[in-house]
A and B are shown apart, each in its own frame.
Chain A
Amino acid sequence: MKFFEKLMSIDRRVIFLFVGVALIVPLFLDIEQTIEITPEVQTLYDAFMELPPGSKVLMAFDYDPPSAPELQPQAITGLRLCFDRNLKVIIIGLWPMGPMQANLALETVFSEENYFDKEPIYGVDYVNLGYSPGNELVIQRMGSSIPATFPRDFRGTSIEEIPLMRGIVNFSNFDYVFNLSAGYPGTVEWVQFAVDRFHARMGAANTAVQAPLVYPYIGTGQLTGLSGGMKGAAEFEKLTGFIGKGTKFMLSQSFAHMIVVFFIIIGNLAYFVTRGREEKKTG
């Protein structure tokens, strides 16, 4: 009896130890995993693939380093997909750290062998307009005038001097919007303002915690696709054919989920056994 009572109240440090081992050990293992593609990630990928070369993609980096393990692989995959398909990328951030995360993602992409000879040109193939405070009102203002909202890029260059920004006035000049979001302001605000108000075509990458909140927008077609969490990153990588950190870290996530499920089963088993005995005692 004591055994099940002990199982009911395992010290949290024991659980921490199991989770730590489950997260760290798989990083050193090389086990092949079968990653099934979900419809929402497939439609996100298809939306990118439907864009003709030269199309303009607005990428909004609305996250910071804490969410980077989930969103950075998706940002890298998205950027690589755009550059491989010769799509033009315009980067902005509603989070102060967003444009920094974009620069880090660009650095990772350009460090790959593929881009040694044909690195995309800043101002022609891509541009980083930086961060603007104001949350969803930034999106609203972009709907009427992007030059008024972002008069300079993150380096301080006037956007009139940036070739890629010539002729871009509002959302009607973008062929696709790809939002990487970890909370507020993020995908919900982009859908409410850019999609509903200004009819932008949009897909999103979200953290696993936030993804369930934006599922209704897939059902209605307001989002063309959604990549959620590390699993979404792994699926996105599989579709693009480049295996990055999203796929690599899935093994750790698999083990961690199994540990959590294991402890939930143990907790419930102990709960039912001890409850049954207590009921017998009380008659």
Chain B
Amino acid sequence: MRRQVPLLLTAIVGFVYIIQFFVPHKPFNIIEHLFTDWILIIAACAIWLGVLNLLKLSSEKVYKRAKDWPYALVIICGFFMITVAGFFFSGGRAFQESGTAFDYIYVNIFTPLSATMFALLAFFVASASYRAFRARTFEATLLLLAGFFVMLGRVPVGDLMTSWLPQGYRLSDLAGWIMMVPNMAGQRAIMIGIALGIMSTSLRVILGIERTITGGE
């Protein structure tokens, strides 16, 4: 039962979605709306599940004094701080509005911290490019040249360096061509491949052939 019921539900929902795509009329559209509403409710509940799970794992880590437990403590404190601020210190307004305690934490703590984490990428990308972009093979050379021209062509300095060339032959034009022709062709191939993969996997799941989602072999 624990496996058959989820498989049956998957099959019913999957077939309804496929049918309503081609026949968007009663009763399929009504059933589809109902299923979509359920999925949205489940998605909202999943957020709570995620939050509770994170708190449980972090609490266990702190309790057992596991490796890096102080970070887990920061997670718990941060969670309660922003939750309390949002629920109880908004002064009768929506917690997301300007001037609330939640907004203050968001703007002055969360935003700079997360922006700092992401900004570190610039440094690691520079270091990784220096080490990885070596013209060892023909393919690596192509990648290197494409990266080289796009990096310079996507900033104004690229055009400044090639300002002596006629319009249409400058670095920005070359970067644009790389993006619009080879990149687009490659992306299309990847997209079509992914779409075919998703279709075949979805069909396997809907038809019950693929059972790993329920923990089966």
Asked if B196 is at the interface (CB within 8 A of a chain A CB), the reply is no
A24 to B103, CA, bound (A): 28
Asked if B212 is at the interface (CB within 8 A of a chain A CB), the reply is no
| Interface residues of chain A: helix, strand, loop or mixed (majority) | helix
CB distance from B101 to the nearest CB of A (A): 14
Q: CB distance B180 to A148 under 8 Å?
A: no
Contacts of A20 in B (CB 8 A): 123
Which of A11-19, A50-58, A77-85, A172-180 forms part of the interface with chain B?
Answer: A11-19
A166 to B43, CA, bound (A): 28
Q: CB distance A271 to B155 under 8 Å?
A: no
Interface residues of B, CB < 8 Å — how many? 59
Interface residues of A, CB < 8 Å — how many? 68
Q: CB distance B33 to A257 under 8 Å?
A: no
Q: CB distance A23 to B114 under 8 Å?
A: no
Q: CB distance A156 to B94 under 8 Å?
A: yes
CB distance from A164 to the nearest CB of B (A): 17
Asked if B60 is at the interface (CB within 8 A of a chain A CB), the reply is no
Given contacts A20-B123, A33-B160, A257-B152, 8 further A-B contacts (CB under 8 A): A15-B127, A23-B122, A134-B40, A141-B40, A229-B154, A256-B126, A261-B151, A264-B147
What residues of chain B have their CB less than 8 Å away from a CB belonging to chain A?
A: 29, 32-33, 36-37, 39-40, 43-44, 46-47, 93-94, 96-98, 103, 106-107, 110-111, 114-115, 117-119, 122-123, 125-127, 129-131, 133-136, 144, 147-148, 151-152, 154-157, 159-160, 170, 172, 176, 179-180, 183-184, 187-188, 191
Top 5 nearest A-B pairs by Cβ distance? A66-B118, A263-B130, A33-B156, A133-B43, A254-B155
What residues of chain A have their CB less than 8 Å away from a CB belonging to chain B?
A: 10, 12, 15-16, 18-20, 23, 33-36, 38-39, 64-69, 99-100, 103-104, 107, 130, 132-135, 137-138, 140-141, 144-145, 148-149, 154-156, 208, 211-213, 215-216, 218-219, 229, 231, 250, 253-261, 263-264, 266-268, 271-272
